[in-house]
Amino acid sequence: MGLFRRLARARLAGRVIRRLRRAGMPDARYHRAGFEVRFTLPGDTEQTILPLAPLLGRNRHELGERLAGVLRAGNLPQDWAAAAPMLRPILRGDAPGAPLRRPALPFLSEFVVVDHPETITYVTPAQLALWNVTAGRVFDAARANLPGAVLHGSPAGKPVVVRFVDDGNAYWTSHLLLPGWLDRLAGQVGGRPVAFAPERGTLLVTADDPDVLPALFAQVEEIYAKSSRSLTPMAYVGDRDGCTIPYPAPAGHPLHTVVSRAERILAVEEYNRQAAGLPEAAGLRLTGSDEDGWRTQALWTSDAPALLPAADEVLLGEERVVPWNDLDLTPAADLSPERWRAESWPA
């Protein structure tokens, strides 16, 4: 991202925060990684998230009107009948606070948000008691609110790449949570659909073609690396039941190398994001090459207890490398992604 773009984003965030604080929300904070501002509306206990991308380029008058609309949106719905139509599912690696979540894909979970015109608020387990509903009912209602759009037309003789760009209302990447939805695009992309979601607002779908996919993996990795709203560099397909799963490419598969690299890049990003706020958490890095294969390496820097990420191998100190499976590890409780406690270096 260029310097001028970073400055424009920072200036916008500063203007939004000043207005929100003057309106009585002293906890308003800018989160650069997601290009969003988080704050708590008066009377709420859960944080509201204001995506800033739709506000770029707005003049002061337009910005003031948008923020006035945010403040008028008010609190979370207090009853289930009002809340249900406003719910949407989202895929994320993490989320603020302690929201309602369930595993969806490797390193990604399914969350539920209340979708206001300008903001979203994550649903928490405590909200279920107020609405007197189960978690399953909340997830089902959120998925039912997705449009489930199907493309029309067919490719002209060769696979095509279809790009779904979210305008803030479509939740395209969330459609990967709908069983059977991805497979229904086969006729439009020219074969078995393969999906990529490099950032929260972008979903790419093409056919399973070994001549097309390697270049698309590279393009997706670049989008993922540069985006402040990155989601995943991996590829996904539907299984026999229509459920979305990671693209399978075992050893010997022509795409094994690029698929393996994407899987490990996501692991590195999500584990290091987690480590930033977790004492004793070891970092993770990518090592290897296309020729030798890609590996993840946990970084256990000193002979002291550590919380290790799942990895192919572990670097002890600066030079000694051991296979991760050779260590005596105990699973740590209540962490996502999972970690394992290690007490001391092996002899």
| Beta bridge partners of residue 193, listed in sequence order | 207
Nearest in space to 259 (alpha carbons), one of 243, 240, 246: 246
Answer whether 258's CB lies under 8 Å from 271's CB.
no
d(CA 331, CA 327): 12
What is the full DSSP assignment across 77-116?
-SSHHHHGGGEEEEEES--SSS--EEEEETTEEEEEEEE-
DSSP state of 303: S
**Helix 256-275 / helix 213-226 crossing angle, nearest 10 deg:** 10
Q: What angle do CA 273, 42, 51 make, to 5 degrees?
A: 40
pTM tops 0.85? no
Per-residue pLDDT of the chain (347 residues; tens, 9 = 90+): 566 677 888 888 888 888 888 877 888 899 887 788 888 876 676 778 888 887 887 777 778 777 776 666 556 788 999 999 999 999 999 877 778 999 999 999 999 999 887 788 889 898 898 899 999 999 999 999 987 665 555 555 567 888 888 766 789 999 999 999 999 999 888 899 999 999 988 999 999 998 899 999 999 999 999 888 899 999 999 999 999 999 999 999 999 999 999 999 999 999 999 998 899 999 999 999 999 999 999 999 998 999 999 999 999 999 899 999 889 899 999 899 999 999 989 88
CA nearest neighbour of 296 among 307, 308, 306, 284 = 284
Which letter does DSSP use for residue 281 in this model? B
The strand pairing partners of 37, in sequence order, are: 30, 50
AA letter at 201: G
* Nearest residue to 315 (alpha-carbon basis) of 332, 296, 288: 296
Sheet containing 339-342: order of strands = 306-309, 339-342, 330-331
Question: Which tokens is 233 given?
Answer: 């560099």
Q: Are 323 and 316 in contact (CB under 8 A)?
A: no
